[in-house]
Amino acid sequence: MNNPLVFTGNSFDRASHLRGDANWLAEQQQKSDSRWLPMHRLKALINLGEGAEICWRPYDEVKSFVEHNATVIFLGILEGVSHFAVDVSEMENPKTLPYERWGKFIDVRSISAQLNSHEAGVLAQARSMIAWHDNHKFCSVCGQPSKVQEAGYSRKCSSEDCNAPHFPRTDPVAIMMVVKDDKCLLGYGPHFPKEQYSALAGFIEPGETIEQGVRREIFEETGVQVGEVTYHSSQPWPYPSSLMIGCFAEALTEEITLDPKELADAGWFTKSEVQDMLAKSLTRETPRMSPPLAIAHQLAKAWAESD
């Protein structure tokens, strides 16, 4: 059964032990059965035939980009076949690319929920990795250009005097259903659609545990104090590269004091109210929950359907 959390179903063998083998990678790239995902300015090539799916292409169709030093990411192996992503953004207008005959470059957020669980997870991997390379072309130690290494999973400073290595990072974000008795605490930010409620969330800071980050964020945003924190599930969120860590948090207090920089509104809701908001997330009526692709929706659903 598919995990309802979008981006969590990637089933590739990432074969990290082979990323440093340049000869093996070159051989795999050029094999007739290798499969390539072209990405244009972080949009993925999608086939919109009978159902949406990644429009994988053979090496011959991406060869010119690979030979001109486009960013290449080794995604992994599935059923003996190596899969790669390649950034084709050097083409100003994607309509000049041959791929338009088979698919269309589409924003990852807008298409992911229509893909199967594995392919949505693949898009999270490809988008996050290419976005990281886009933003790390220069060494953060000395400022010199850096070069792609290890099949896309690191960069190295080009200066022989520096040679600093750089590795992709994932930002941990706590997202939490705050509950007290038969109610839960939901809110929405100043830039959210009006009355589209979500679980509270915030980045975990250096030196913090998940539990400490949950308690701090809830108190900072609403003034509500929290005791026990329990883990529920996690979700990669490739905008640009976060890991949403879903938790339940037991509230010790109920009075809400909003931080207006973080929240436009927050309130306590019963299970019946949340069930109604979950249904409205599909019809776009208000008040509603975040859409089903978001972990906030799934956390709210798990709580509303619990005994």
Q: Tokens 């229509």 — which residue?
A: 114
CB of 128 within 8 A of CB of 169? no
How far apart CA 252 and CA 270 sit, in angstroms, is 17
Give strand ranges (E) for the chain. Answer: 35-40, 43-48, 52-54, 72-78, 81-87, 104-107, 146-149, 154-157, 165-166, 171-180, 183-188, 196-197, 200-203, 226-237, 242-251, 265-270, 288-289
Q: Tokens 């750089």 — which residue?
A: 166
Q: Check residue 97 and give its pLDDT.
A: 75
Q: Check residue 3 and give its pLDDT.
A: 62
Q: Check residue 91 and give its pLDDT.
A: 84
CATH value of 171-304 in 3.90.79.10, 3.20.20.70, 1.10.3720.10, 1.20.1260.10: 3.90.79.10
Q: Where are the domains of the chain?
A: 16-135, 171-304
Q: Check residue 1 and give its pLDDT.
A: 36
Q: Check residue 142 and give its pLDDT.
A: 98
Encode the chain (307 residues) as per-residue pLDDT tens digits: 346 799 999 999 999 999 999 999 999 999 999 999 999 999 999 999 888 999 999 999 999 999 999 999 999 999 999 999 999 999 877 777 777 778 999 999 999 999 999 999 999 999 999 999 999 999 999 999 999 999 999 999 999 999 999 999 999 999 999 999 999 999 999 999 999 999 999 999 999 999 999 999 999 999 999 999 999 999 999 999 999 999 999 999 999 999 999 999 999 999 999 999 999 999 999 999 999 999 999 999 999 999 8
CATH fold of 16-135 reads: Nucleoside Triphosphate Pyrophosphohydrolase (3.90.79)
